[in-house]
A and B are shown apart, each in its own frame.
Chain A
Amino acid sequence: MIEFNGVTKIFKTELLSQPFVALKNVSFHVPQGSMVGFLGANGAGKTTSLKIIMDFIRPTEGSVEFTNLGKERFEIFKKIGFLPERPYFYQNLSGHEFLNFMGSLSELTAVDIQRGIAKWAPRFKIDHALNRPLKTYSKGMLQRIGFLATILHEPELIILDEPLSGLDPIGRKELKDVIVEVHREGKTVFFSSHIVPDIEEICDRVIFLKEGQLVYDGTVDKLLKSEDKTEYTIKFKADHTLKLDTRIKHQHSLPGGLQVVTVPETAKNFLINELVTKDIDIVGVEHIKPSLEEIFYHIKSN
């Protein structure tokens, strides 16, 4: 749905200062119907990429193409919903006025706008505040009304810049549930975040940027498998003086006479056999999987 082709963006901030390279020949694609997380540390180039996709800024080199959304810009942007990072909106407009404003710009009729508000406002728990000016809204409420405005016209492609920042854990869970719900309706969702577990929880694909360069573009599963060392922890009841014949990687004791050992996959069955033979009570066997967050920090530090 989005083809980001060889994009380089160079900013010249001051007349005599060194140009700043925000993106270096970055290419990735967002397939139709997918939920793609856009990861990267602060300053990695995520927001710059999103601004280029939305045509707020122009790339120094490269191009952005949209497939299956239409040919003309006008036609394409009718089917896109975009929520910027930390939006402030129009402080003196009420929630209702703001949603009417956004809905009518997306060519919705008054009836459609009211239907959309009736559907989503209670879900976002802002229905009680719609007659109040936006300047009285909390940060979380602004984020929620912003998201409502983004999906009001039922876009096919939803692009969100840090949509979960500024929300409390309950607000984050509610927003994630709605993102998953609209994705299940067949919408393509592309969102940036630095909260890695959120992306691991709901995305099927991930794009990693580091210092303006692409590090990874693919499925979350593939990334997790690539970093999977296939090790197991086996927990059993025994004295710490117990000598084992199986080659183990790591062993430590827990209170209550529990031993925890880490073994590679090849040694797992040997150890279980040995423990059964010695009539030792096995409490648990667990496959150690690195989380996306661990991989993210590993990539960041390398």
Chain B
Amino acid sequence: MLTKITIISKYTFKELLKSRILYITLVIGIALMVVTYVATEFTFGVPEKVALDFGLGMLSLSSLGISLFMGATLLPNEINSRTVYMVISRPVPRWVFISGKILGLMGVLLVNVAILSTMTMLCSYLLGGVINQAIIMAIIFNVLECMLLLLVVVFFSLFCNTILSSSISLVILMLGHAVKETQATGFVEKRPMVKALLEFYHLILPGFYKLNLKEFVIYNQQIDTSYLMNSFLYGSAYSLFLFCTIIYIFNRKNLD
């Protein structure tokens, strides 16, 4: 079965790569170089930080964008164009098909991350910045965040149309980043009902803020190892849970 997952992910990767999705990566890469050049002219003393900030920001935005929009069409396109029938009418279980599709899209995400992170680190380094472990960690956690978002959007695409599934996932992504700071506001502190509601939300929906290490990198803050471990386990466990749920539902879904 592993061979078949590899075959499906390989051709999914090829298909997506040829759809010129990585042109976005190229455009962002060029924009990164232009911004870095401009930053050296206008910022005093910290151009490498601007390059790092802009680079990591763009890396995060483009990868989340790919997860959100490509993820929302990953399965509906297969069903609408009946290509799924050509695959699962062969000795290929449904879970193998969906695993291969998700892995193929993850491959595209990894290429995007690899290109942009290399360019970001190169620009920062050329401007006198230091490549440290925190930057690498921020990039790894960005991949984990994109994987989680991809699984969220694929999960909703099993029930909703493309627009709805990407919209719901975008809202969950934004709430997942804002939930911690919202909980700490005076408005929430004074209202136990709202606080309970947010805690309940926290229990069920993904806390994307846990996977965002960019601020640690930009402000040179020390990242606690236990925080890293907890966040990594949280992201991985949530992704695994979602992945299993997607397989369970897809196995029972009417593909009409």
Contact = CB atoms under 8 A, between A and B. Distances in A.
Interface of A: 11, 48, 51, 54-58, 74-75, 77-78, 80-82, 84-93, 97, 101-102, 104-107, 133, 146, 149, 153
A104 B14 CA distance: 15
Given A85-B82, A87-B83, A90-B11, A102 B256 contact: no
List the 4 shortest-distance A-B pairs measured between CB atoms, nearest first: A92-B18, A82-B89, A88-B81, A57-B254
Interface string B71-107: 0000000000111011111111100000000000000
A97 to B, nearest CB: 7
B91 A54 contact: no
Contacts of A56: 85, 88, 254-256
A93 B14 contact: yes
B15 interface: yes
17 contacts: A54-B85, A55-B88, A56-B254, A82-B86, A84-B82, A88-B81, A88-B82, A88-B83, A91-B19, A92-B18, A92-B19, A93-B14, A97-B14, A102-B90, A105-B8, A105-B92, A146-B86
Given A89-B81, A92-B19, A104-B7, A54 B86 contact: no
B254 A105 contact: no
Interface residues of B, number: 23
B11 A82 contact: no
B90 A57 contact: no
A84 B86 contact: yes
Contacts of A85: 82
Given A97-B11, A97-B14, A101-B11, A57 B256 contact: yes
Contact of B18 (A80, A87, A93, A101): A93
Contact of A77 (B19, B90, B255, B256): B90
Given A51-B256, A56-B256, A90 B15 contact: yes
Interface in B4-30: 4, 7-8, 11, 14-15, 18-19
A11 B92 CA distance: 26
Contacts of A87: 81-83, 85-86
Contacts of B91: 74-75, 77-78, 105-107
B83 A106 contact: no
B73 to A, nearest CB: 13
Contact of A105 (B82, B85, B90): B90
Contacts of A80: 89
Contacts of B92: 77, 105
A140 to B, nearest CB: 17
Contacts of B255: 51, 56-57
A275 B85 CA distance: 63
Contacts of A105: 4, 7-8, 87, 90-92
A270 to B, nearest CB: 59
B216 to A, nearest CB: 39
Contacts of A84: 82, 85-86, 89
Interface string B108-122: 000000000000000
A54 B254 contact: no
Contact of A92 (B7, B15, B254): B15
A126 B211 CA distance: 50
Contacts of B8: 105
Given A57-B255, A88-B81, A133-B18, A93 B86 contact: no
